[in-house]
Amino acid sequence: MHHAVGQDSSTGFQPVLLATAVVKVISPEGRHTVARALMDQGSELSFVCESLVQALGLQRHSKSILLTGIGAQKCATTRGRVTLKIQNLLQPNLEFSLEAHILPKLTGRVPGQEVAVHRWEHLSGLESADPCFAVPAKVDLLLGANIYGRLLMEEIRRGDPDSPVAQKTALGWIVSGPTSPSSSDPEGTSRVFHAARQDCELDDLVKQF
């Protein structure tokens, strides 16, 4: 997992929304909780934070993987993997199983700053996957390319070029993309998410866990 922070040299910073969803997470034994997920097809794998693993008592499979991110830099080592299910909160019949790799923390709060959404008419009336998508909050799950495609549906709603796009998924409508320029973040902090396996898996590190 790689979390890159950069400085925008332009005079105005344009906040960008990342696609998030609030889901029910279920362990193989039936324990469950509600968690916030970031949907990121730039990641080859899906990830779960250590605190959620412990809260659900998920059985950990001792297999660690070295991750690379932006710039092909080695950036983290996972703490094993777990099997879990995610479920649409409003439609329990929409349930998906996945394997997720464990990290102590996935990222900072998403989005980086609160964004006003009342002006986006094309988002009106949508059943959002995350009703608070424009309010900064922690991320418990990262849903990567190993499940991303299974969740997507065909419908898309677009507004003007400076507004985010909404796409229908099995978890509800996700919202991502640019917003109007804002002066509330003078440093222009941005986030980049990308994760890939290293060629060799670090089974020798299993003993640590």
Number of Cα atoms under 13 Å in the Cβ half of residue 195: 30
CB 103 within 8 Å of CB 78: yes
pLDDT at 8: 45
Fold of 2-194: Cathepsin D, subunit A; domain 1 (2.40.70)
Tokens (6 digits) for 72? 């092909």
Q: Is the Cα torsion angle 117, 131, 138, 202 positive or negative in sign?
A: negative
Strand 20-26 relative to strand 2-6, pairing: unpaired
Tokens (6 digits) for 140? 């418990």
Tokens (6 digits) for 75? 């950036």
- pLDDT tens sequence across 28-43: 999 999 999 999 998 9
pLDDT at 70: 67
CB 34 within 8 Å of CB 160: no
pTM: 0.79
pLDDT at 202: 33
Residue type, 76: A
Residuewise pLDDT in 10s, the chain (209 residues): 444 433 344 445 577 899 999 999 999 999 999 999 999 998 999 999 999 999 999 999 987 777 866 666 666 788 899 999 999 999 999 999 999 999 999 988 999 888 887 778 999 999 999 999 999 999 999 999 999 999 999 999 999 988 999 999 999 999 999 987 643 444 444 343 334 343 333 333 233 32
Backbone angles phi and psi of 111, in degrees to 5: -70, 175
Tokens (6 digits) for 62? 């001792």
pLDDT at 189: 40
pLDDT at 12: 54
CB 196 within 8 Å of CB 71: no
**What is the domain partition of the chain in residue ranges?**
2-194
Q: Exposed, middle or buried by CB within 10 Å (0-12, 13-18, 19+), for 116?
A: exposed
Instruction: Give the C-alpha separation, 22 to 141, whole Å.
Output: 10
